[in-house]
Amino acid sequence: MSDAWNALATHADQLRSVSLASLIDDPNRCDRFVRQLGELHVDLTRHLATNETIDLLLSLAEERSVTAMRDAMFAGEPVNTTEHRPALHVALRNTSDRPILAEGHDVMPAVHAVLRKMRKFCNAIHDGTWTGASGRRIDTVVNIGIGGSDLGPVMATEALRPWWSSGIRARFVSNVDPSHLADTTSDLDPATTLFIIASKTFGTQETLANAHAARRWIVEALGDEAVSRHFVAVSTNAERVENFGIDPENMFEFWDWVGGRYSMWSAIGLSIAVAVGFDQFERMLEGAHEIDCHFRDAPPAENIPIVLGLLDCWYRDCWQCQSRAVLPYDQHLHRLPAYLQQLEMESNGKRTRLDGSPTTHGTAFVVWGEPGTNGQHSFHQMLHQGTTMVPCDFFIAAESCEPTEDGRYDMLVANCLAQAEALARGRDLAQIEGALRASGMDEADVAALAPHKVMPGNRPSTTMLYKRLDPATLGRLIALHEHRVFVQGVIWGIDSFDQWGVELGKHLANEILPSVTGATFGSGDATTQHLTARVHALRNELRAVARRCVG
Ligand code: F6P
């Protein structure tokens, strides 16, 4: 353990006996623990942290060269070391005139060319000059992709529902379970449906299988020649796109310096752009660019992604927290927990450092959550009284996108603020007993019930408050999290941009598939073979029942 980590560990031990309520009540707390970035208000007052904590975390950042690594990322150096690639998602939303170099070469002209092509395509869909094969206007785009080629587009499209252009809707298919495509297309008309096949590699099994099934659906209804009017592709691999049968003219390019889970700003965001219109897509890029400038230029003590990433490491490593809850009090952010799950867990769920040695600290949180207030009636019980401390992130807009006169939005805001306060302050035994006695309960019942009602408090949270969830705000929120995750990765000394852990499962699935189809027997270990045999036995039973019914 380094000096900075040792100092933090000692400091954490001292803080364990300090109550969060007493920290919050410090009248000067807001000076250092409330941050304003344009329209984004980030409240860190409910953290188990003092000025000394922040200073020690900043020393850790210095020791780990966070700013040098950040600068290396912006400079297009191959910070994805195991794949020898830069990670230049910041170039995708670089709305300034600054060139951005990937290994010495300015990527901005290529980025702008694809953005122009996306704009032209979006406009053609919207004004009806791009029609289906039978000449009818497209009214639905279905994005087929998975992981980073799905989660960002779904999350953002859902988040921006109030901004959808009229006459067009976006849907998403990711799961290779045939039900996903079938359910998604069941009420669609092939003549007015356009598929966007989104895959960085254009080699992902699930996406290609779904794309072929979608192709059959179009061809059965409209014939082979309809494919060129009903399919476009987003990929880095033009050859595979062409082999699939999509005209390279109808392909939107991106580059291997864009990580899958960092790609919603690229042509992977085409479904978002079609749904909300290209101008609004650009607002989203502008919001993200604002955060990029802040992350690149603000000194560490003022730098919100740096401070958030450091606090994450503080809880993960000095308080042994295993998970972090993402609690958007914003229905339109209902896919944010799933999106952040991939961003954080695929980026930082690692155990090997850049130099090949094992990590000496815990890495990525389990990231999970649900929109409020739904979560309150489900898992918040555990957040308040469970034996595990779970830092929480609350997201709330001052104003609803759906203004009503009936006070429901005020209820939502009040609930969000109340949850964070309840988590932080709790209720001790004396307070509970006093309240029960005041309600007229007899002493025996007070003694029996009071311990169950104790709320330990001291549970930390961040509240992110914004005016209204519009495209720029969404861009800001997501870019903030990308950089937060980057900071965590630098502290832990890992490569946040690779994902080798997903490979073995893909490889084994290919080996086991012939046994599942019945082409061969005996793939996989003893348990896999036993389960595969059981799948076949159950299928046979179903077939026998079907035969009896027909007979
Ligand atoms: O399996 C993980 C992964 O490689 C993700 O990192 C990626 O976002 C996803 O699969 C989809 O990959 P592609 O865009 O190449 O289809």
Judge whether 506 counts as a catalytic residue.
yes
Ligand 1 pocket: which of 149, 263, 344 to mutate (most atoms <8 Å of CB)? 149
The strand pairing partners of 198, in sequence order, are 234
Q: 269 pLDDT exceeds 90? A: yes
Judge whether 377 counts as a catalytic residue.
yes
- How confident is residue 329, by pLDDT bands cut at 50, 70 and 90? very high
Q: 204 pLDDT exceeds 80? A: yes
> d(Cα 64, Cα 3) in Å, to the nearest integer?
11
Q: How confident is the model over 342-364, as a mean pLDDT?
A: 97
- How confident is residue 511, by pLDDT bands cut at 50, 70 and 90? very high
Q: What pLDDT, on the 0 to 100 scale, is given for residue 454?
A: 97
Ligand 1 pocket: which of 154, 173, 200 to mutate (most atoms <8 Å of CB)? 200
373 lines ligand 1 (CB under 6 A): no
Q: Which one has a higher pLDDT value, 182 or 30?
A: 182
Q: 278 pLDDT exceeds 80? A: yes
Atom number in ligand 1 closest to CA 260:
8
Q: How confident is the model over 176-187, as a mean pLDDT?
A: 98
Q: What pLDDT, on the 0 to 100 scale, is given for residue 550?
A: 82
Q: What pLDDT, on the 0 to 100 scale, is given for residue 40?
A: 96
Ligand 1 pocket: which of 204, 254, 268, 500 to mutate (most atoms <8 Å of CB)? 204
pTM: 0.96
Q: Hey, what amino acid is at 458? A: N
Mind giving me the DSSP string for 260-319?
Answer: GGG-TTTGGGHHHHHHH-HHHHHHHHHHHHHHHHHHHHS-GGG-HHHHHHHHHHIIIIIS
The torsion angles phi and psi of 484, rounded to 5 degrees, stand at -60, -45
Q: Is 159 helix (H, G, I), strand (E, B) or coil?
A: helix
266 lines ligand 1 (CB under 6 A): no
418 lines ligand 1 (CB under 6 A): no
Q: 426 pLDDT exceeds 80? A: yes
- The active-site residue out of 77, 253, 346, 433 is 346
Beta strand 40-43 pairing with 392-397: unpaired
Q: How confident is the model over 268-272, as a mean pLDDT?
A: 98
Atom number in ligand 1 closest to CA 151:
8
Question: Measured in angstroms, how far is the CA atom of residue 273 from the centroid of ligand 1?
Answer: 21
Q: 446 pLDDT exceeds 80? A: yes
80 lines ligand 1 (CB under 6 A): no
Ligand 1, atom 1, lies closest to the CA of 502
Q: What pLDDT, on the 0 to 100 scale, is given for residue 31?
A: 87
- Show the tokens assigned to 281: 């897509």
Q: What pLDDT, on the 0 to 100 scale, is given for residue 1?
A: 78
Q: What pLDDT, on the 0 to 100 scale, is given for residue 450?
A: 98
Ligand 1, atom 10, lies closest to the CA of 147
Average pLDDT, the chain: 97
Q: 551 pLDDT exceeds 90? A: no
Residue reference for tokens 């073979």: 529
Question: Mind listing the pLDDT tens digit for each residue in 91-121?
Answer: 999 999 999 999 889 999 999 999 999 999 9
- Show the tokens assigned to 415: 């609930």
